[in-house]
Structure 1
Amino acid sequence: MTLVFQPPAPDHVPAELIVDFDFFKVPEDVTDPVQIWHRLARDGAPPIFYTPRNGGHWVFLRYADIVEGYRNHEIFSTRGAQIPPIEPFPVLQPNGVDPPEHDVFRKILAPMFTPLAVRRMTEGLHRRAETLISGFAGQGGCDFIADYAAKFPTGTFLELFGLPEERLPEFLRIANVFFRSTDPDIRAANLLEIYAVLEDLFREKERNPQNDIATTVLQARDSDGNQFPWQDIINCGFLLFVAGLDTVTNTMAYVWRYLATTPDARQKFRDRLDDPAAFLLAIEELMRINAVSNIYRRVTHDCEYKGVRLRKNDRVILPNTVANRDASIFPDPQTIDLDRKVNNHVTFGVGPHRCIGSHLAKREIMISLQEWLRQIPDFELAQDQEALSVFGGSVMGFESLKLRW
């Protein structure tokens, strides 16, 4: 098999730009996985450096370069950008292709995730959140990840796709393997399993169309009135499967972890329960400081960028948490200011591939926090947190977060 996007040997990388850094590996003394990124800056890593780990890739550490990586698709492509490299990998629609090709499926999906479309989901989201929280609110404690943060966005995905709630454990397991494993055999088997699930889903929607996202994608037509290629339909479903689950789960974990240790912040949110605009302003700040995703790009051709030689098929990582704490952009960036007015964070990306589900993600977090504070106004971290329950990778987070009240 020819590996179309195989990275070259790093003989074009000068020794002074090589840093031994594994973004999947979190040292035992680190209790917050984002710190592995901020240690780089504190330890004086070059703003653009290369690591031989995970197949070899570049890392950008400045806001301006990370934004350029998002926006300049002529150099930094989303197609075949996986780290570690794995081929064949699904060409996710629309985020796995570049403009103008990516516009086709983005136009199909965009109307389903506009602010107005998301507001129409509000009642159902409130109902889901209230039901989940009331199930353990009287118990005096929970594992926030297992009991809420994993279930809420995944359950929402199942509903939007017209799938039964009973399949929640299956989807949680599949998503966990997709985001966590670096074993090539396990990753390949995981891709095949996701493909099989999506194949069954869309075939069922062919037989029994419903008012859901899967049916909408299936019934979309190209400019000639024809159905889109079946593989593109499957790959669009693949994107929606992986895009809205793990990131929301782990962002929630960070937000609740912060609030559990910060009584003043809990009070601010309680004071704003009936002021959605102020509530959302504060959530934007928590989205900035708690960016959990590290986004991949692939270099399209040999070139020089900021004095650094890049070769075709080099991989690049854009760590949002680093960009969001760049002092040249954010005054006092390490401080969490729930009244921060100007907040140009890149948590959802920028440019043509900006997260199409950003309005839904923010609404999920806002509604979850509103319902939580109504039922559990005060809470704290439990003392018996599990050791080594943190992980790095494309999405960082916690396997467990025990809360008490």
Structure 2
Amino acid sequence: MHPTAERIPATVPPELVHEADFDALTSEGNDPWAAIARLHEGPPVIWMTHANYGRPGWVLTRQDVINEAFIDYEHFSSERPGMIADMLGEPVRLNPIEIDPPRHHAYRQVLNPFFTPKAMKEFDDPVRRCCRELIAQFKDRGECEFAQEFAVRFPSYIFLDLMDMPRDRLGDFIGWQDQLMRGTDPMVRVGAARSIYAYLKEHMAAQQRNPTTALLRGMVGAEIDDRPIDYYELMGMFYVLYVGGLDTVYSTIGWIMHHLAKDRDLQARLRADLSLVPQAIEEFCRAFSVVVTHRQVAKDFVFHGVPMKKGDEVNLPIMLANRDPAVHENPHVIDIDRKPRHIAFGTGTHNCVGIHLAKRELRIVIEEFLTTFADIRLKPGETPRYHTGRTFGFDYLPLELDQRS
């Protein structure tokens, strides 16, 4: 028997089987976007024997099928095992992203008012202050290790301020997040999940007694179907803001700064005209979509000629959608004038609730770095290091920085 035969159900057509490890495949070479784009050469739906933390499952490789899976929640459910609930041993679903319609809508309405473009305008000054505070720690040095000195810390500070949590616990939060998202030992991931849970449980109880911000007041005082929100529903909201607000922004910022450090012409163009930054962000989000999200097949059905079975895991690498050559001409070229339509923040019911905050954070980071530094470049003789997996992000990104006079 072939060693991977037990990972290939009899219902999977042999021509769709890809005997590979997703994380190993995306780590090959020195460009993860080019590495994963090799999947565009095959079918739009494949079965990978090691798709997600070593588990087998479907991988969708084109924008049209990924887009369809996002929208079709009746067949591709967000309510799947193997996530926080299993690691905690308690019925906590990331709320609302692990809850399907129609229940999804009531929970989403609790959070939506606090993340509208209008609401996010109030974050401009505190986000900019946070950005400047971090830059001040290295701007006179003429260099920085961007990943750890800025990219990890920046969205973490924003999240801590948003949730009114103490900044002196930052080291714990970053460590837990890294173990949860990238731990190779399942028990390390479980330990991190439970450490986060214990802290959030304590913080949530304090907020229920005395909510300290409008967002927290809205969450702890929420009503769902004319009843008070219950413990596990509220814990799910606290948990989703924790996992959603840190890793993706940190990862995206790293790839943007890495690209700007290599593309000095674009750097100069944006520095000369900051009004171009918002359109640049749309292209950066397309080109540097860092997330692989997931669904579970809710019932047996045939998807684009492929028989899928209830319980099958489905992986949606958003970077494959946003670098699909059938949709985006020269997809690996960063062109801020293309004004792309992308799904970097998902689409349909489960599009990211924090999209406007994330874009605001990206815009302010770019503006502050370009106005503070006359030139940003990769440090000679150093090799940046990144990871793939559920998110693609830099672990080590040394930069040289010339201050503007």
Verify same fold: TM over 0.5: yes
Gaps of at least 5 residues in structure 1 are 1-6
Deviations for 1:150-208, whole angstroms, at most 9, x for unmatched residues? Answer: 01101000000011111111111111111102322122222211111110111111233
Equivalent in the alignment of 1:399? 395
SS at match of 1:291: coil
SS at match of 2:280: helix
Q: CA deviation at 1:86?
A: 5.1
Equivalent in the alignment of 1:333? 331
Q: Is the 8 A contact 1:31 1:390 kept in 2?
A: no
Do the aligned partners of residues 13 and 28 (structure 1) sit closer, same or farther apart at CA in structure 2, a change above 3 Å counting?
Answer: closer
Aligned counterparts of 1:83 and 1:90: Cα–Cα separation in 2: 9
Matches within 5 A, 1:113-124: 113-124=115-126
Q: Is the 8 A contact 1:323 1:346 kept in 2?
A: yes
Equivalent in the alignment of 1:75? 75
Aligned counterparts of 1:313 and 1:9: Cα–Cα separation in 2: 14
Q: Structure 2 residue aligned with 1:218, among 200, 217, 220? A: 220
| AA aligned opposite 1:78 | S
Aligned counterparts of 2:65 and 2:150: Cα–Cα separation in 1: 36
Aligned counterparts of 1:85 and 1:199: Cα–Cα separation in 2: 14
| AA aligned opposite 1:299 | V
Equivalent in the alignment of 1:236? 237
Q: Is the 8 A contact 1:385 1:400 kept in 2?
A: no
Q: Between 86-95 and 150-159, report the one with greater CA deviation.
A: 86-95
Q: Structure 2 residue aligned with 1:198, among 200, 207, 210? A: 200
Do the aligned partners of residues 137 and 26 (structure 1) sit closer, same or farther apart at CA in structure 2, a change above 3 Å counting?
Answer: farther
Matches within 5 A, 1:174-193: 174-193=176-195
Q: Structure 2 residue aligned with 1:135, among 115, 134, 137? A: 137
Do the aligned partners of residues 83 and 10 (structure 1) sit closer, same or farther apart at CA in structure 2, a change above 3 Å counting?
Answer: farther
| AA aligned opposite 2:165 | L
Aligned counterparts of 1:231 and 1:314: Cα–Cα separation in 2: 26
SS at match of 1:316: strand
Over 4 Å off, 4+ runs: 26-29, 81-89
Deviations for 1:211-237, whole angstroms, at most 9, x for unmatched residues? Answer: 15333211112343x321101100111
More strand by share: 2
Q: CA deviation at 1:209?
A: 1.8
Aligned counterparts of 1:349 and 1:29: Cα–Cα separation in 2: 26
Equivalent in the alignment of 1:3? none
Q: Does 1:374 align with 2:376?
A: no
Q: Structure 2 residue aligned with 1:345, among 342, 345, 356? A: 342
Aligned counterparts of 2:230 and 2:76: Cα–Cα separation in 1: 26
SS at match of 1:336: coil
Q: Is the 8 A contact 1:81 1:315 kept in 2?
A: no
Q: Is the 8 A contact 1:77 1:298 kept in 2?
A: yes
Q: Is the 8 A contact 1:26 1:390 kept in 2?
A: no
Deviations for 1:63-88, whole angstroms, at most 9, x for unmatched residues? Answer: 10000110000010111165899565
Equivalent in the alignment of 2:360? 363
Deviations for 1:105-148, whole angstroms, at most 9, x for unmatched residues? Answer: 11010011100111111011111111111210110111101011
Q: Name the Cα RMSD after superposition.
A: 2.1
Aligned counterparts of 1:223 and 1:291: Cα–Cα separation in 2: 35
Q: CA deviation at 1:62?
A: 1.1
Q: Structure 1 residue aligned with 2:151, among 137, 149, 152? A: 149
Q: Does 1:23 align with 2:19?
A: no
Aligned counterparts of 1:167 and 1:298: Cα–Cα separation in 2: 35
Q: Does 1:96 align with 2:98?
A: yes
More helix by share: 2
Q: Is the 8 A contact 2:277 2:367 kept in 1?
A: no
Matches within 5 A, 1:201-350: 201-224=203-226, 226-273=227-274, 275=275, 278-341=276-339, 343-350=340-347
Identity %: 32
Q: CA deviation at 1:27?
A: 7.0
Aligned counterparts of 2:83 and 2:7: Cα–Cα separation in 1: 14
Do the aligned partners of residues 393 and 84 (structure 1) sit closer, same or farther apart at CA in structure 2, a change above 3 Å counting?
Answer: farther
| AA aligned opposite 1:346 | I
SS at match of 1:377: strand
| AA aligned opposite 2:74 | E
Aligned counterparts of 2:35 and 2:72: Cα–Cα separation in 1: 27
Aligned counterparts of 2:354 and 2:176: Cα–Cα separation in 1: 20
Q: Between 305-314 and 184-193, report the one with greater CA deviation.
A: 184-193
| AA aligned opposite 1:394 | R
Gaps of at least 5 residues in structure 2 are 1-5
Aligned counterparts of 2:250 and 2:27: Cα–Cα separation in 1: 23
Higher relative contact order (CA 8 A, sep 6+): 1
Do the aligned partners of residues 47 and 28 (structure 1) sit closer, same or farther apart at CA in structure 2, a change above 3 Å counting?
Answer: closer
Aligned counterparts of 2:18 and 2:69: Cα–Cα separation in 1: 20
Aligned counterparts of 1:29 and 1:209: Cα–Cα separation in 2: 48
